[in-house]
Structure 1
């Protein structure tokens, strides 16, 4: 098919795609088709079995092909800022993926297949800026996962399986309607109340010594000051515990972490669709 002028959009063919492949500094073959107004996933790309990295971000794609799993060579897939509402079951066949970016789409929890738990090579999974309020429990099998983006979603409670993902170093859950657990004097759960501020979990090693000590004191429920004497009445005798659920190796920092944290927020852009 002929190549049209830029004003009318570009028809993506296998020939055009091959010309767009570049070799990265570390020797990987990357295909970048970002911000091209693509509305339908080009099935011709599935023939490029030698591509290691695929960037289809900032397009208008609503659906991935059912046989996306045949793109077995991929280790890096970027689909952020599209219009995806669900993922096909076959995405679980991309077992070589180490990085998957699905942020800034229209994904709902029912649209995430349990096969995501088969992507055991994943180190980074970005699901931020969607409409998610839960995740498939099978994601708890992703032992190698180091970074998880859940920001700008609808989570009230964090997934329980975060406790067992031992290699997580960063979990971005900013701008979710999260709740904290309020406990009475005997440690019994009383109610769930709206979180007072955004939560951003980071690994303990990313905090300075002062911030780490402060977080540990709060996590253990230690009072911040001493009381006013026998019989009560001092400020230190009145202490309302508010504890956030504990996740292994992760704490909630009270000040800026030692290392700047990624926000992973992607701006939406205007597109000219391919006809």
Structure 2
């Protein structure tokens, strides 16, 4: 930008504008949708609408989320993806009703994730993909209700054992991270083995035909894994990173 040129100002959000952006979802929830509006700073006026159930500030130019966001005590769904956020406020831990938190495609580093995340005991889905994380926050291991975890497109080299032991985990997306080669990390292989034991349904609930299909698929996966261990130079381990993951790159699929 040339010297003396002012940076473009983002769109100003007034209380009136925000009220007009409240929608009612199919299940009767109130969603404040301020996505794709060119917002550069968190609009403080929306704190007066803190009775909404869902808040969407995605696809904007926001760099900082204030501590006052904790005033949204009824919030179950918070979408902040595709902004320029490098740090989450500590007060986010007070939003204990959150079921979904999407902060993918931002500028977050591991230091930008507060330990207070471990207070979100009801959280079921968290997407931290497309950031600058070089490690997985161990606080996630305390979130026993987690069903889906997105860690794709970061700088992560290992997955903590606590993540693989999450009792309700069904989807783990760790694609496009600099994981070590299979022969370089036995511990990492062991963690993947534990994740491979995840089922969307219990075996007893499957019909005989479906159970056979699952067993055939597992046999194929084991064959690929054994091939990777005996032929370490062949880089095929990436296909084993996210067992049971149906996650797509589209951000809409994380809602």
For the aligned pair, the TM-score class normalised by the smaller chain equals 0.7 to 0.9
Query: Which residue of structure 1 lines up, in the alignment, with residue 33 of structure 2?
Result: 32
1:78 equivalent to 2:79? Answer: yes
* Partner residue, 2:88: 87
- Answering whether residue 148 of structure 2 is matched by residue 147 of structure 1, we say yes
Partner of 1:136: 137
Contact between 1:180 and 1:192, CA under 8 Å: does it hold in 2? yes
Show the 5 A alignment for 1:44-63: 44-63=45-64
Q: Which has the higher contact order (CA 8 A, sep 6+)?
A: 1
1:228-269 C-alpha deviation (Å, 9 max, x unpaired): xxxxxxxxxxx727698xx9xx9747xxx8xxx2223459xx
Listed one character per residue, the Cα deviations across residues 183-227 of structure 1 (whole Å, up to 9, x for unaligned) are xxxxxxxx349x9xxx9x7744489422222224566x5x89xxx
Q: Secondary structure at the match of 2:84?
A: coil
Check conservation: 2:76, 2:100, Cα contact below 8 A: yes
- Is residue 214 from structure 1 mapped to residue 215 from structure 2 by the alignment? no
Q: Which runs of 5+ in 2 are unaligned?
A: 1-8, 202-209
Output the CA distance in 1 between the equivalents of 2:10 and 2:79. 22
Secondary structure at the counterpart of residue 67 of structure 2: coil
Which has the larger share of helix? 2
In structure 1, the gaps of 5 or more residues are 1-7, 183-190, 225-238, 268-275
Matches within 5 A, 1:1-275: 10-182=11-183, 191-192=184-185, 203-205=198-200, 208-209=213-214, 210-216=216-222, 240=230, 252=243, 261-266=246-251
| Structure holding more strand per residue | 1
Aligned residue number for residue 227 of structure 1: none
Preserved CA contact (<8 Å) 1:77 1:99: yes
Per-residue deviation, residues 104-155 of structure 1 (Å, max 9, x unmatched): 0010011100011111111110001000011321211100000001111001
CA contact 1:21–1:31 (8 Å) conserved in 2: yes
Number of equivalences: 221
Is the 2:173–2:242 contact (alpha carbons within 8 Å) kept by the matching residues of 1?
no
Q: Which runs of 4+ in 1 moved over 6 A?
A: 241-244
| Equivalent residues of 1:204, 1:251 under 8 A apart | no
- TM-score, normalization: structure 2? 0.76
Aligned to 1:187: none
3-state SS, counterpart of residue 230 of structure 2: coil
Post-superposition CA distance 1:90-115 (Å, at most 9, x none): 01111000011101001001110001
Q: 1:123 to 1:205 in 2, by over 3 A?
A: closer
What is the CA distance between 1:11 and its match in structure 2?
A: 2.4
Bigger radius of gyration among the two = 1
TM-score (normalised: structure 1): 0.71
